[in-house]
């Protein structure tokens, strides 16, 4: 039985009662204070990039002081938003490259997937014959780091794309060059007195996003796999009920697995468990929030406490000894909130420093030592719990996660009766699609946003799609919404149409496949690239679409741009800040198709959004005659 959104909400209401008792603030209250939002901001028509402004466009004032019109302002704001997201994902990827560069035999970080390292070495042209694996690792890491600032050429991983899409991108000047260059060029273009032509600004938005998806994010994923292992199917659990009132609860939150992996490692250490017992607990439970949760769930089966809008709930249980964070999507609210409880709010990255937190600076060199200190701090904090405030909602669902591209290919190997040698390729999946057993696939990604009743859009859309024999790959907070509802339990096959149900039974998979964190959307890009190559079709011809129904972050816009840039139609349930410009809206929802083969659809009505995706998938099938 699925957990309904009403049940989620009842559990949250109960936790907010605890919050009220201790005088805690909550996002639910802050949303009320911020509503209605500024109309100028919402439409993207406020410009404050120079000190002659800020300028706001109205019917009476159709141009800023410099003469920029509304289309230029909206386009510039959109490009800056994208650059913020691309920089963020890519800097995460860069950190992982540095971690790999520090990996050594017997050190804090080691190579766990040498086969993947060798594959990457080949791609980057790094010699492997007769060399020590760590020498290779360091050279590959350096080659990866060079992608950020290389003076000539395009991103290396573009070679993974089918020729048709790559050529289209090069022809339209959308192929990403050095990652940092795309971000810097975007900031240059949006400076006062540079670009104000919507076409140029939207083109650069796509190219900058492509530098993320086929550059920084893809390196983040690949190098994380080398360091921590490529995910394989593994069982876990999801929702707040994974926290354990008898145990020391450590919650990892953020994005970079270099931190969370180490915390998990030390929380598993018998010496630490013994210490926890000495302090009166029965053991240690690590659970996760946001993408770092996805990382450790995919590789270790660490349970997922919740997604983005659940982060305050974790503290409100009164049973969280420490919430340990690295970067991105962390509410500054956690500082003051943790002060209402005994919870230690531990920040670890110079990139994300926050008031009311304990800052323990984490680096590859001190990772072991500091992870141990953090776990100890949490254990020693157990005695400070206020028992009268402890309430963990008794809700959790089983989930099978860990569907990397490699795992999907392997799992689906057995689903067809085909005589040809198709193992190790995406051909079995293609056969399911071509025969109509599966109608297509949807990549469900992205955040929560209070503008949408949290998780409903993710869950309702997934239910609708699987009932229509559309298989889902999910990542980020969307994947966690699915897991918490029960859609990653293999028994969810009973909610599917006959075709998808059959595939789930034959391959022993749930109908919603967890592909990882948001940087792991790069796994989805590799999957569609393989599907296109194995079928001889263009990516834009495949019956595949992307969807972010509750997105909120700059990263999500960068992702949207690279998904569209890859040739995949993308459906949004929350409007980007572009409604002030008909020209920018027209480009995003239609004009870009000429440059990339795909475009955006924005629809706030969830039901209509689902219908639109199904219709698009059926149109694509009809167009290729299947
Ligand atoms: O990178 S889905 S709320 S956690 S931004 Fe953030 Fe959005 Fe969640 Fe991961 Ni992605
Ligand atoms: Fe106003 Fe132009 Fe300056 Fe923007 S760049 S704040 S529109 S004068």
Nearest CA among 603, 599, 613 for reference residue 466? 613
- The first and second tokens of residue 304, run together, are 């997922």
Determine the atom of ligand 1 nearest the C-alpha atom of 551: 7
What number is the ipTM of this complex? 0.96
CA dist., res. 564 & res. 539, Å (int): 11
Contacts of 485 (CB under 8 A, 6+ apart): 2, 3, 4, 5, 397, 455, 459, 462
Look up tokens 């600032």; give the residue. Answer: 149
Nearest-CA residue for ligand 1 atom 6 is 329
Average pLDDT estimate for 612-625? 98
User: By percentage, how much of the chain surpasses pLDDT 70?
Assistant: 99
Nearest-CA residue for ligand 1 atom 9 is 291
Q: Are 304 and 377 in contact (CB under 8 A)?
A: no
Confidence of residue 419 (pLDDT cuts 50, 70, 90): low
Residue 189 to residues 40, 126, 201, 384, Cα–Cα distance (Å): 22, 35, 8, 53
Q: Which ligand is nearest to the CA of 57?
A: 2
pLDDT exceeds cutoff 90 at 312: yes
Residue 556, ligand 1, Cβ within 6 A: yes
Residue 228 to residues 56, 89, 132, 321, Cα–Cα distance (Å): 49, 18, 19, 26
Q: Which ligand is nearest to the CA of 475?
A: 1
Nearest-CA residue for ligand 2 atom 3 is 50
Nearest-CA residue for ligand 2 atom 6 is 53
So what's the pLDDT on residue 420? 57
Nearest CA among 268, 269, 265, 273 for reference residue 247? 273
Query: Mind listing the pLDDT tens digit for each residue in 340-369?
Result: 999 999 999 999 999 999 999 999 999 999
Q: Is the pTM here over 0.90, yes or no?
A: yes
Among 556, 560, 572, 574, say which to mutate for ligand 1: greatest number of ligand atoms within 8 Å of CB: 556
SS3 361: coil
pLDDT exceeds cutoff 70 at 435: yes
Average pLDDT estimate for 319-335? 98
Query: Mind listing the pLDDT tens digit for each residue in 361-415?
Result: 999 999 999 999 999 999 999 999 999 999 999 999 999 999 999 999 999 987 7
Determine the atom of ligand 1 nearest the C-alpha atom of 448: 3
pLDDT exceeds cutoff 70 at 421: no
Look up tokens 């800040």; give the residue. Answer: 577
Nearest CA among 262, 226, 284 for reference residue 348? 262
Residue 519, ligand 1, Cβ within 6 A: no
Determine the atom of ligand 2 nearest the C-alpha atom of 72: 7
Nearest CA among 109, 114, 112, 136 for reference residue 125? 136
Nearest CA among 92, 134, 325, 153 for reference residue 226? 134
So what's the pLDDT on residue 414? 73
Signed CA dihedral, 221, 226, 232, 234: sign only:
negative
Q: Which ligand is nearest to the CA of 476?
A: 1
Within 251-403, residue ranges assigned H as helices are 257-267, 270-278, 290-300, 311-316, 334-339, 367-381
Determine the atom of ligand 1 nearest the C-alpha atom of 476: 2
Confidence of residue 259 (pLDDT cuts 50, 70, 90): very high
How many angstroms separate the alpha carbon of residue 187 from the centre of ligand 2? Answer: 15
CATH architecture for segment(s) 57-228? Up-down Bundle (1.20)
pLDDT exceeds cutoff 60 at 89: yes
Contacts of 435 (CB under 8 A, 6+ apart): none
So what's the pLDDT on residue 133? 98
How many angstroms separate the alpha carbon of residue 57 from the centre of ligand 2? Answer: 10
Residue 290, ligand 1, Cβ within 6 A: yes
Residue 600, ligand 1, Cβ within 6 A: no
Say how many Å lie between the first and final Cα of the chain, rounded: 34
Average pLDDT estimate for 166-172? 98
How many angstroms separate the alpha carbon of residue 41 from the centre of ligand 2? Answer: 15
How many angstroms separate the alpha carbon of residue 297 from the centre of ligand 1? Answer: 15
Confidence of residue 424 (pLDDT cuts 50, 70, 90): confident
How many angstroms separate the alpha carbon of residue 609 from the centre of ligand 1? Answer: 21
How many angstroms separate the alpha carbon of residue 64 from the centre of ligand 2? Answer: 5
Tell me the backbone φ, ψ of residue 444, rounded to 5 degrees: -95, 120
Residue 72, ligand 1, Cβ within 6 A: no
Q: Which ligand is nearest to the CA of 64?
A: 2
pLDDT exceeds cutoff 60 at 225: yes
Residue 474, beta-bridge partner list: 444, 514
pLDDT exceeds cutoff 70 at 267: yes
Nearest-CA residue for ligand 2 atom 7 is 64
Query: Mind listing the pLDDT tens digit for each residue in 122-145?
Result: 999 999 999 999 999 999 999 999
Give the number of other CB atoms < 10 A from CB of residue 229: 18
Which fold, 240-389?
Rossmann fold (3.40.50)
Determine the atom of ligand 2 nearest the C-alpha atom of 53: 6
3-state helix/strand/coil string of 98-142: HHHHHCCCCCCCCCCCHHHHHHHHHHCCCCCCCCCHHHHHHHHHH
How many angstroms separate the alpha carbon of residue 164 from the centre of ligand 1? Answer: 31
* Residue 446: half-sphere exposure toward Cβ, Cα within 13 Å: 33
Q: Are 512 and 476 in contact (CB under 8 A)?
A: no
Residue 549, ligand 1, Cβ within 6 A: no
Residue 352, beta-bridge partner list: none
How many angstroms separate the alpha carbon of residue 182 from the centre of ligand 2? Answer: 23
Query: Mind listing the pLDDT tens digit for each residue in 6-17?
Result: 999 999 999 999
Contacts of 146 (CB under 8 A, 6+ apart): none
How many angstroms separate the alpha carbon of residue 201 from the centre of ligand 2? Answer: 16
SS3 250: strand
397-623 to CATH, choices 3.30.420.10, 1.10.3720.10, 3.40.50.2030, 3.40.50.20:
3.40.50.2030
How many angstroms separate the alpha carbon of residue 361 from the centre of ligand 1? Answer: 23
- The alpha carbon of residue 600 and the mean position of all alpha carbons in its chain are separated, in whole angstroms, by 19
Strand pairing of 55-56 and 570-572? unpaired
Confidence of residue 423 (pLDDT cuts 50, 70, 90): confident
Among 289, 308, 327, 573, say which to mutate for ligand 1: greatest number of ligand atoms within 8 Å of CB: 308
> Measuring from each residue's beta carbon to the nearest atom of ligand 2, which residues come in under 6 Å?
47-50, 52-55, 64-66, 68, 73, 192
- The first and second tokens of residue 145, run together, are 């780091």
* Residue 20: half-sphere exposure toward Cβ, Cα within 13 Å: 8
Q: Are 569 and 546 in contact (CB under 8 A)?
A: yes
Residue 223, ligand 1, Cβ within 6 A: no
Strand pairing of 512-516 and 470-475? parallel
* Fold match between domain 240-389 and domain 397-623: yes
Average pLDDT estimate for 102-121? 97
How many angstroms separate the alpha carbon of residue 330 from the centre of ligand 1? Answer: 10
Among 44, 45, 47, say which to mutate for ligand 2: greatest number of ligand atoms within 8 Å of CB: 47
Average pLDDT, the chain: 97
Nearest-CA residue for ligand 1 atom 10 is 518
Q: Which ligand is nearest to the CA of 195?
A: 2
Determine the atom of ligand 2 nearest the C-alpha atom of 50: 3
CA dist., res. 228 & res. 192, Å (int): 44
Report domain extents, the chain.
Answer: 57-228, 240-389, 397-623
So what's the pLDDT on residue 413? 85
- The first and second tokens of residue 160, run together, are 């993974």
Average pLDDT estimate for 148-171? 98
Nearest-CA residue for ligand 2 atom 4 is 47
- The first and second tokens of residue 390, run together, are 């402890």
CA dist., res. 39 & res. 46, Å (int): 9
Among 45, 55, 194, say which to mutate for ligand 2: greatest number of ligand atoms within 8 Å of CB: 55
Determine the atom of ligand 1 nearest the C-alpha atom of 475: 2
């Amino acid at each position: 039985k699925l957990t309904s959104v009403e049940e989620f909400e009842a559990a949250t209401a109960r936790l907010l009662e605890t919050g009220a008792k201790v005088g805690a603030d909550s996002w639910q209250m802050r949303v009320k204070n911020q509503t209605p939002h500024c109309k100028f901001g919402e439409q993207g028509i406020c410009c404050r990039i120079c000190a002659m402004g800020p300028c706001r466009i109205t019917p009476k004032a159709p141009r800023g002081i410099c003469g920029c019109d509304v289309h230029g302002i909206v386009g510039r704001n959109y490009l800056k938003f994208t650059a913020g997201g691309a920089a963020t994902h890519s800097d995460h990827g860069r950190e992982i490259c540095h971690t790999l560069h520090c990996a050594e035999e017997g050190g804090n970080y080691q190579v766990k997937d040498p086969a993947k390292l060798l594959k990457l070495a080949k791609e980057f042209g790094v010699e492997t014959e007769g060399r020590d694996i760590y020498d290779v690792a360091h050279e590959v890491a350096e080659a990866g780091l060079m992608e950020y600032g290389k003076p000539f050429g395009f991103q290396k991983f573009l070679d993974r794309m089918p020729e048709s899409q790559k050529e289209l991108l090069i022809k339209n000047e959308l192929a990403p060059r050095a990652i940092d260059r795309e971000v810097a060029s975007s900031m240059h273009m949006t400076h006062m007195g540079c670009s104000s032509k919507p076409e140029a600004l939207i083109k650069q938005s796509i190219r900058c996003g492509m530098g993320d998806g086929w550059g920084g994010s893809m390196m983040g994923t690949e190098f994380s796999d080398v360091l921590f292992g490529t995910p394989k199917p593994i069982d876990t659990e999801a929702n707040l009920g994974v926290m354990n009132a008898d145990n020391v609860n450590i919650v990892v939150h953020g994005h970079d697995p270099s931190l969370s992996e180490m915390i998990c490692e030390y929380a598993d250490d018998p010496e630490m468990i013994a210490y926890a017992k000495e302090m009166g607990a029965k053991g240690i439970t690590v659970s996760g929030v946001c993408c770092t949760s996805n990382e450790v769930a995919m590789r270790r089966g660490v349970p997922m406490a919740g997604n983005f809008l659940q982060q305050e709930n974790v503290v409100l249980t009164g049973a969280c000894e420490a919430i340990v964070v690295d970067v991105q999507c962390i509410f500054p609210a956690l500082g003051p909130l943790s002060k209402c409880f005994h919870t230690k709010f531990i920040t670890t990255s110079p990139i994300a420093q926050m008031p009311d937190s304990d800052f323990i600076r984490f680096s590859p060199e001190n990772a072991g030592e500091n992870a141990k200190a953090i776990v100890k701090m949490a254990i020693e904090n157990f005695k400070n719990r206020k028992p009268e405030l402890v309430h963990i909602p008794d809700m959790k669902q089983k989930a099978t996660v860990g569907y990397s591209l490699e795992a999907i290919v392997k799992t689906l190997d057995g689903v067809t009766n085909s005589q040809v040698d198709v193992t190790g390729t995406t051909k079995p999946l293609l056969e399911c699609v071509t025969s109509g057993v599966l109608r297509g696939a949807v990549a469900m990604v992205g955040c929560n946003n209070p503008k949408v009743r949290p998780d409903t859009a993710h869950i309702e859309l997934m239910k609708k799609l699987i009932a229509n024999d559309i298989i889902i790959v999910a990542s980020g907070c969307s994947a966690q919404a699915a897991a918490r509802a029960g859609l990653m339990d293999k028994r969810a096959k009973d909610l599917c149409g006959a075709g998808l149900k059959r595939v789930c039974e034959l391959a022993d998979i749930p109908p919603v496949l967890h592909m990882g964190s948001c940087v792991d959307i790069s796994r989805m890009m590799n999957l569609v690239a393989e599907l296109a190559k194995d079928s001889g079709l263009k990516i834009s011809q495949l019956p595949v679409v992307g969807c972010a129904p509750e997105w909120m972050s700059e990263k999500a816009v960068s992702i949207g741009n690279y998904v569209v840039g890859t040739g995949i139609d993308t459906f949004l349930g929350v409007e980007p800040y572009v409604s002030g410009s008909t020209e920018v809206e027209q480009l995003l929802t239609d004009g870009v198709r000429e440059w990339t083969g795909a475009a955006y659809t924005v629809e706030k009505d969830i039901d209509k959004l689902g219908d639109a995706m199904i219709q698009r998938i059926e149109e694509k099938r009809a167009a290729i005659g299947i």
